[in-house]
Amino acid sequence: MPTLNLHTNIPVDAVTTSDILKDATKALSKIIGKPESYVMVVLHGGVPIVFAGTEAPAAFAEVISIGGLGQSVNAKLSSTIADILQTKLSIDSSRFYIKFFDSPRSFFGFNGTTF
Protein backbone atom coordinates (compact mmCIF):
# COMPACT_ATOMS: atom_id res chain seq x y z
CA MET A 1 0.00 0.00 0.00
CA PRO A 2 2.81 2.46 -0.50
CA THR A 3 1.26 5.78 -1.49
CA LEU A 4 2.98 8.84 -2.92
CA ASN A 5 1.09 12.13 -2.78
CA LEU A 6 2.95 14.63 -4.93
CA HIS A 7 2.10 18.34 -5.17
CA THR A 8 3.82 20.81 -7.48
CA ASN A 9 3.21 24.36 -8.63
CA ILE A 10 4.10 23.32 -12.20
CA PRO A 11 1.09 22.60 -14.44
CA VAL A 12 1.45 19.10 -15.89
CA ASP A 13 0.07 17.87 -19.19
CA ALA A 14 -1.37 14.38 -19.73
CA VAL A 15 1.81 12.91 -21.23
CA THR A 16 4.08 14.25 -18.49
CA THR A 17 1.58 13.14 -15.83
CA SER A 18 1.51 9.61 -17.22
CA ASP A 19 5.32 9.44 -17.33
CA ILE A 20 5.65 10.67 -13.74
CA LEU A 21 2.98 8.26 -12.48
CA LYS A 22 4.65 5.28 -14.19
CA ASP A 23 8.19 6.22 -13.10
CA ALA A 24 7.16 6.92 -9.50
CA THR A 25 5.13 3.70 -9.26
CA LYS A 26 8.10 1.61 -10.41
CA ALA A 27 10.45 3.47 -8.06
CA LEU A 28 8.26 3.05 -4.97
CA SER A 29 7.69 -0.63 -5.70
CA LYS A 30 11.36 -1.39 -6.28
CA ILE A 31 12.83 0.69 -3.44
CA ILE A 32 10.26 -0.20 -0.76
CA GLY A 33 10.03 -3.80 -1.93
CA LYS A 34 6.25 -4.00 -2.37
CA PRO A 35 4.39 -5.14 -5.50
CA GLU A 36 3.28 -2.48 -7.98
CA SER A 37 -0.26 -3.82 -7.57
CA TYR A 38 -0.34 -2.16 -4.11
CA VAL A 39 1.33 1.15 -5.06
CA MET A 40 -0.71 4.34 -5.48
CA VAL A 41 0.69 7.60 -6.84
CA VAL A 42 -1.35 10.82 -6.82
CA LEU A 43 -0.07 13.87 -8.72
CA HIS A 44 -1.47 17.36 -8.17
CA GLY A 45 -0.07 19.87 -10.66
CA GLY A 46 -0.58 23.62 -10.75
CA VAL A 47 -0.98 23.85 -6.96
CA PRO A 48 -0.09 27.26 -5.47
CA ILE A 49 3.22 26.77 -3.59
CA VAL A 50 5.61 29.29 -2.12
CA PHE A 51 8.98 27.86 -1.08
CA ALA A 52 11.79 29.99 0.36
CA GLY A 53 9.73 33.09 -0.34
CA THR A 54 9.32 32.51 -4.09
CA GLU A 55 6.86 30.85 -6.43
CA ALA A 56 9.66 29.32 -8.51
CA PRO A 57 9.16 25.64 -9.44
CA ALA A 58 8.79 23.57 -6.26
CA ALA A 59 7.21 20.37 -4.96
CA PHE A 60 6.07 18.65 -1.77
CA ALA A 61 5.57 14.92 -1.41
CA GLU A 62 4.37 12.48 1.20
CA VAL A 63 5.22 8.78 1.17
CA ILE A 64 3.01 6.58 3.32
CA SER A 65 3.69 2.87 3.73
CA ILE A 66 2.97 0.01 6.07
CA GLY A 67 6.54 -1.00 6.73
CA GLY A 68 9.42 -0.82 4.28
CA LEU A 69 10.55 2.68 5.25
CA GLY A 70 13.72 3.55 7.11
CA GLN A 71 16.78 5.76 6.87
CA SER A 72 18.40 4.17 3.79
CA VAL A 73 15.11 3.53 1.96
CA ASN A 74 13.92 7.08 2.65
CA ALA A 75 17.19 8.53 1.34
CA LYS A 76 16.94 6.45 -1.83
CA LEU A 77 13.28 7.42 -2.34
CA SER A 78 14.09 11.11 -1.78
CA SER A 79 16.89 10.99 -4.34
CA THR A 80 14.89 9.02 -6.90
CA ILE A 81 11.76 11.18 -6.67
CA ALA A 82 13.91 14.32 -6.82
CA ASP A 83 15.50 12.94 -10.01
CA ILE A 84 12.06 12.31 -11.54
CA LEU A 85 10.98 15.87 -10.68
CA GLN A 86 14.20 17.33 -12.12
CA THR A 87 13.97 15.29 -15.32
CA LYS A 88 10.24 15.66 -15.99
CA LEU A 89 9.45 19.10 -14.51
CA SER A 90 12.82 20.87 -14.08
CA ILE A 91 12.30 21.19 -10.32
CA ASP A 92 15.63 21.52 -8.53
CA SER A 93 16.10 19.13 -5.61
CA SER A 94 16.73 22.13 -3.33
CA ARG A 95 13.08 23.14 -3.91
CA PHE A 96 11.53 19.84 -2.87
CA TYR A 97 10.46 18.52 0.53
CA ILE A 98 9.38 14.95 1.15
CA LYS A 99 7.72 13.57 4.27
CA PHE A 100 7.78 9.86 5.16
CA PHE A 101 5.19 8.13 7.29
CA ASP A 102 5.38 4.48 8.32
CA SER A 103 1.73 3.71 9.03
CA PRO A 104 0.38 1.10 11.43
CA ARG A 105 -1.60 -1.57 9.54
CA SER A 106 -4.88 -0.62 11.21
CA PHE A 107 -4.51 3.03 10.10
CA PHE A 108 -4.88 2.17 6.41
CA GLY A 109 -8.08 0.90 4.80
CA PHE A 110 -8.45 -1.17 1.64
CA ASN A 111 -11.21 -3.26 0.11
CA GLY A 112 -13.71 -2.40 2.83
CA THR A 113 -11.44 -3.23 5.76
CA THR A 114 -7.99 -2.41 7.12
CA PHE A 115 -4.68 -4.14 6.50
| Structural domains of the chain in order of their starting residue, each with its CATH number | 1-112 (3.30.429.10)
Task: Single out the catalytic residue among 2, 11, 48, 57.
Answer: 2
Give the other-Cβ count within 10 Å of 85's Cβ: 25
Average pLDDT over residues 37-52: 97
CA distances from 29 to 24, 60, 72, 75 (A): 8, 20, 15, 15
Average pLDDT over residues 30-57: 97
Average pLDDT over residues 86-90: 96
pLDDT value of position 53 = 98
Active site residue 48: no
Q: What is the DSSP letter of 66?
A: S
pLDDT at 105 over 90: no
